[in-house]
Every structure is written in C-alpha cells, then in structure tokens.
C-alpha cells in the first residue's frame, strides 16, 4: 500500500481525472477528501466507491475560485480526517471560443478556477505541511499549456501559468520537506473533451501517434507515482502523459 495512512485532498474529485485519482489513491491506502461543483449524485457515488475500498471519504460542494470556501474545505478535511499529506489540484473548466469572442467574464472565470484556485488551495494546506516537514502537492495542468490550442486561449494560458507556478513553489517548498510537481495530460476521455465536436475529436485522434484518447486512470497512475514513495526525485517537474501529442 503505497499511500497507507495518508490523507489526500483532491479538487474536482467527483468525475474524470479527479475521480480516477481519488480511487487510485484510496486503493493504495489513502483516505480521501474531495470537492465538486454541483455534482452531488456523482460525488456520493465516488465516496461510496472509496468507502468500499475500506477508506474514509469526505466530500463537499465547493468552488475553488472562492478562496474562503477552498480554505474552509481544507480546514474541514484536516479536522475530520487528519493533516493533509497530499493535495491534488485538479478542478478545471473550459469555455471554447475563438480568441476574439471571449468576454472578460469568461476569461476571469477560466483563470480564477485554474490558476487562482490552485494557488490558494495550495496556500491553504502549505503551512501545516511545512510545520510537519512533509507533504506533496500535485497541480494538474494540460498539454495545451505546452503547445496551445485553437479556441482555448485563456485555458492554454492558465495551464502554462500552472507549470510556472509549480516550478516557483518547488523552489520554496522542497528545502522544507515538500514535493511539488505537475501533470500535463493530453486529450483524455472526460466531460471537458466531451464538448468537442465529433469532427474535432476525430481529427485530434487521427493526429495522435497512439491513435486514441487517454483514460483518466492513466493520469491517475502518474499522480500515484508523484504522490508515492517512488516519486521522491521529482522536483518542480511536469510529467505529460499525452499519447505523443507533445514530445519534448
């Protein structure tokens, strides 16, 4: 059990990559707290699967762009489950538009969920991790932060910023006993990619060397590597399981 006795907090944990990560961590011995946005039925289902694995589960509605709400959830999780050992900053949204069609409100929403939410969720757990001299923070970026994408300018910009934030925080956190890394998934079968038109989806698949979209479980395996005992030499890194969409 690679995460036996650990407490993990996963944002956006009711479905997609967050759900797969929560279940993978629970299968390796971690108790799980996760937040979701207007997804109570799927959250209950995910929590039930975590408990079926013999682990504790706590979930709560919460918008990570609301700094006070994110901090309150981190405090509740620590109070009810114990000190947070692992934070997976996974919550995300996308609004697909041509560059010139984005409104200021849409831009602010995308950046607030991805970058602001991630920054302040990390800040919410950071002092207690530093006090204990241990902890792991995993920020979920995207391959679009590496290469960009049509109709995704704010999303691509926010995801690129996440990788910069990860490196900056790693410089500060690593000497204090923490591990901070990022994952930049390629196209994965989730609700976000479900918004693509069939034509866009097929064109994307045809351009991928592996000839398919990835599965959330494949990204969860990367998160488990970074969170577990085998990830100790990754510092400020961005791992990108992307099916060959970006090779670097």
> Which residues participate in catalysis according to the annotation?
155
Rounded Cα gap, residues 57 and 71, in angstroms: 18
- Tell me 140's DSSP state: E
Q: Give the neighbor-by-neighbor strand order of the sheet with 178-183.
A: 57-61, 31-36, 7-10, 86-89, 135-140, 178-183, 238-239
Contact 142, 114 (CB under 8 A): no
Rounded Cα gap, residues 232 and 120, in angstroms: 24
The phi and psi torsions of 140 (rounded to 5 degrees) equal -90, 115
Rounded Cα gap, residues 197 and 103, in angstroms: 22
């Amino acid at each position: 059990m690679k995460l036996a006795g650990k407490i993990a907090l996963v944002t956006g944990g009711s479905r997609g990559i967050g759900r797969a990560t929560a279940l993978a961590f629970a299968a390796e011995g971690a108790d799980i707290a996760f937040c979701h946005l207007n997804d109570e039925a799927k959250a209950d289902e995910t929590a039930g699967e975590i408990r079926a694995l013999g682990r504790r589960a706590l979930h709560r509605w919460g918008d990570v762009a609301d700094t006070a709400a994110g901090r309150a959830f981190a405090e509740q999780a620590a109070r009810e489950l114990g000190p947070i050992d692992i934070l997976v900053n996974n919550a995300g949204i996308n609004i697909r538009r041509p560059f010139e069609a984005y409104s200021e409100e849409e831009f602010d929403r995308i950046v607030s969920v991805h970058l602001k939410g991630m920054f302040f969720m990390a800040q919410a757990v950071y002092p207690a991790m530093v006090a204990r001299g241990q902890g792991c923070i995993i920020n979920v970026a995207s391959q679009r932060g590496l290469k960009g994408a049509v109709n995704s300018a704010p999303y691509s910009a926010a995801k690129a910023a996440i990788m910069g934030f990860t490196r900056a925080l790693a410089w500060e956190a690593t000497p204090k006993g923490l591990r901070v890394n990022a994952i930049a998934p390629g196209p994965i079968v989730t609700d976000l990619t479900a918004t693509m038109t069939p034509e866009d989806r097929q064109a994307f698949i045809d351009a991928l060397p592996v000839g398919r979209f990835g599965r959330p479980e494949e990204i969860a395996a990367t998160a488990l590597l970074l969170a577990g005992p085998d990830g100790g030499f990754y510092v400020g890194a961005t791992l990108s399981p992307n099916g060959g969409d970006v090779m670097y």
